[in-house]
Amino acid sequence: MRAPEFWTKRDSTSRTISDALRPIGWIVGRITVFRATRPWRYRARARVICVGNLTVGGSGKTPIAMAIAELLTQRNIKPFFLTRGYGGKSRGPVEVSRKTHSAREVGDEPLLLSNVAPTVVARDRAAGAEYADRHGADVIVMDDGHQNSHLRKHISFVVVDAQTGFGNRRVLPAGPLREPIKDGLKRAHAVILVGGDESAKLTGYQGKVFRAKIVPQEIEGLREKPVIAFAGIGQPRKLLQSLRDLGAQVKTLKSFADHHIYSGKEIAELQKRAMEENALLVTTEKDYVRLPPRLRRGVRFLPIRAEFEDPEGLQLFFDRFTIPSREAETA
């Protein structure tokens, strides 16, 4: 899905369209809040940390979830990721294997998560958590699921893009919100603001706020090189900015819808243009894993990672919720 322009623009036409859809958004918001606040039906033996958000589209949830799992690993504990596997066909529960699974089967984000920790794809989050319990998880990190009530959550993080915030602050389809801001933040134990210098206007929220940034990793031979970029993510222009920050001379950025499945023709056209212009063909790692191996010739990807401004403070926050550590258990 490509986000409609009226979700972010402030002109009279955008306002008119959003106003017309606002009654539907009110109904969607009430239904979402009702479902999100129902009693949980499964309590995992492992602690459950949910990394969710209030909007559709990219806010940085997946790299944040990966960074949290890395912090947990530093505590000498075993995290498992639990994800719905958006874009994949598998209903699960299934543990992701990069050797045998493709993005068409399990989705693109689970393939990235599986680089960091064991990853379970399950449409039924309770069944996925039960699988993780059986296979020795100390902590289950849910990538998305703030609006899902199937599992008891020990910590619920809401990730907010500090630059784009909540768009026009209206609920689908009138805006990008999954639920009203006040309701969603009420269930959060902490907010993680990603990038930017703004507070994203956290309506009525007085709780803990952590800050993080998404840091692009260097690609050898990229600086001062001409680049043809393409991306099918929530905010494709972030790839453009990252490449420019690394010194690349981006000639064009071809944008596709989030989770887009590329055809051979689309990639062949991009490869041809890059060859004609003697340019590097670069995409995101999330897009790269969606490409079948036969279409990856000449395509490079830009790795990214999330870095917390105060990782020690986040570790202390885990202590408040008795997130386990092997040292504590054996002391």
Q: Quick check: 36 pLDDT over 70?
A: yes
> What is the chain's length?
331
The b-or-e profile of 209-235 (16+ CB within 10 A means b, else e) is: bbbbbbebeebeebeebebbbbbbbbb
* Residue 8: per-residue pLDDT: 84
Q: Are 73 and 117 in contact (CB under 8 A)?
A: yes
Q: Phi and psi at residue 169, in whole multiples of 5°?
A: 65, 30
Q: Which residue has the tokens 């887009």?
A: 260
Q: Quick check: 161 pLDDT over 50?
A: yes
Q: 3-state class of 51 per DSSP?
A: strand
Q: Are 75 and 322 in contact (CB under 8 A)?
A: no
The mean of the pLDDT values for the chain is: 91
Half-sphere exposure for 174 (CA within 13 Å, toward CB):
20
Q: 3-state class of 241 per DSSP?
A: helix
CATH superfamily of 218-302: Response regulator (3.40.50.2300)
Residue spans of the domains in the chain: they are 47-214+307-330, 218-302
Give the span between the Cα atoms of 220 and 237, in whole angstroms: 21
The b-or-e profile of 32-64 (16+ CB within 10 A means b, else e) is: bbeebeeeeebebebbbbbbbbbbbbbbbbbbb
* Residue 320: per-residue pLDDT: 87
Percentage of residues in the chain having pLDDT higher than 90: 79
What is the per-residue pLDDT across 76-111, written as a single tens digit (0 to 9) for each?
999 999 999 988 999 989 999 988 999 999 999 999
Q: Are 159 and 127 in contact (CB under 8 A)?
A: no
Name the class of domain 47-214+307-330. Answer: alpha beta
